[in-house]
């Protein structure tokens, strides 16, 4: 899944989303902090195309999913569905079209949700730029919008700020691009560029203050970097492993901290934490848990009690493991358990 696949719903229950070969599967706690229900298909029986799907969440706690489906030989279409509450069935998939009108799959979608509870679906188009589809408040979708750009890698990273204004990041072979929404309902426009090459597939964006997001990515030298527009990318520490890092804000010992997690080269989960937006304070990895398969993914969230939760999910076996922060000083975790 492109985006945070471990989410806390409006009722406090945690939900995980998993992209299988032809479906998005979801699984939720039966009560906050309680047992987990089995996996079930999201969006009904419509078969999906192979490749990552996307998930984004609004301030109302609703999750919005986007994925590709086959629409005939050499033809694909994007589909969308909404999941209102963890123990409710998500709505059926609905077709939302193609950024170029027709054609095959063009890239991994990314989803953000504004303060009006409208989904913004971003995707690379056939010309190598970025296209946007915006949901109407009373149902349906506005026409596709071409945000321009060229040479964009497949994965995008989208998020809304606390104000509900939406932004999206994309990488090219030699720079990172950002499109930012200046007013509610306006089309995001490209503003700042970072002249740094990010490894494809390593973008992860986190809301880190009322009006700022921080983009995490791995550069070509293997450094995990943080970038907030208005400044330059800051090397934080050597990436623990390949792929995007998981990131969340939470309180640790009374301080607003950013916690990072990544599957390390050893196969274990590596954690690091530092005061939010204070990269100069430094960070270092501490590994936890048993070695995981190379396909395993890592996610972070904060539960209904405000406690840090980490999860790992293996797409090949659907094995889900969870741990929580202990009620003691620093970043101490409970033992991992399979649920």
pLDDT by position in tens, the chain (length 339)? 999 999 999 999 999 999 998 999 999 999 999 999 999 999 988 899 999 999 999 989 999 999 999 999 999 999 999 999 988 889 999 999 999 999 999 999 999 999 999 999 999 999 999 999 999 988 899 999 999 999 999 999 999 998 899 999 999 999 999 999 999 889 999 999 999 999 999 999 999 998 899 999 999 999 999 999 889 999 999 999 988 899 999 999 999 999 999 999 999 999 999 999 999 999 999 999 999 999 999 999 999 999 999 999 999 999 999 999 998 888 999 999 999
The number of angstroms, rounded, from the C-alpha of 40 to the middle of its chain's C-alpha atoms is 20
Provide the pairing of β-strand 189-194 with 255-263. unpaired
Q: CA-CA distance, 55 to 111, in Å (whole number)? A: 6
Phi and psi, residue 156, nearest 5°: -115, 165
Which pTM does this prediction carry?
0.96
Q: CA torsion sign, 53 to 292 to 318 to 50? A: positive
Q: CA-CA distance, 77 to 79, in Å (whole number)? A: 7
Q: CA-CA distance, 4 to 266, in Å (whole number)? A: 23
Phi and psi, residue 98, nearest 5°: -135, 140
Tell me which residue of 110, 112, 129, 113 sits closest to 172, measured CA to CA. 129
Q: CA-CA distance, 193 to 169, in Å (whole number)? A: 10
């Amino acid at each position: 899944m492109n985006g945070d696949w471990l989410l806390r719903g409006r009722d406090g229950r945690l939900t995980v989303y998993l992209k299988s070969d032809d479906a998005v599967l979801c699984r939720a706690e039966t009560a906050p902090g309680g047992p987990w229900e089995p996996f079930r298909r999201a969006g009904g029986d419509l078969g999906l195309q192979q490749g990552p799907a996307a998930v984004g969440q609004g301030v109302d706690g609703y999750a919005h999913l986007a994925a590709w489906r086959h629409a005939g030989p050499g033809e694909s279409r994007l589909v969308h569905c909404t999941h209102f509450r963890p123990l409710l069935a998500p709505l059926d998939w609905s077709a939302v079209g193609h950024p170029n009108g027709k054609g095959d799959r063009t890239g991994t979608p990314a989803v953000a949700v504004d303060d009006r509870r409208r989904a913004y679906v971003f995707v690379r188009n056939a010309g190598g730029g970025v296209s946007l589809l915006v949901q109407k408040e009373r149902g349906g979708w506005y026409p596709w919008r071409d945000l321009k750009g060229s040479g964009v890698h497949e994965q995008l990273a989208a998020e809304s700020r606390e104000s509900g204004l939406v932004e999206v990041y994309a990488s090219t072979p030699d720079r990172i691009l950002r499109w930012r929404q200046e007013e509610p309902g306006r089309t995001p426009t490209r503003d700042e560029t970072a002249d740094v090459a990010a490894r494809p597939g390593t973008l992860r964006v986190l809301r880190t203050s009322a009006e700022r997001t921080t983009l995490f990515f791995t550069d070509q030298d293997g450094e995990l970097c943080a970038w907030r527009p208005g400044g330059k990318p800051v090397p934080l520490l050597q990436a623990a492993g390949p792929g995007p890092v998981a990131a969340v804000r939470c309180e640790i010992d009374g301080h607003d901290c950013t916690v990072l997690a990544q599957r390390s080269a050893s196969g274990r989960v590596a954690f690091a934490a530092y005061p939010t937006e204070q990269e100069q304070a430094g960070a270092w990895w501490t590994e936890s848990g048993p070695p995981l398969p190379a396909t395993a993914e890592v996610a972070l969230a904060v539960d209904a009690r405000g406690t840090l939760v980490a999860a790992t999910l293996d797409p090949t076996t659907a094995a889900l493991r969870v741990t929580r922060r202990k009620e003691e000083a620093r970043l101490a975790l409970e033992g991992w358990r399979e649920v």
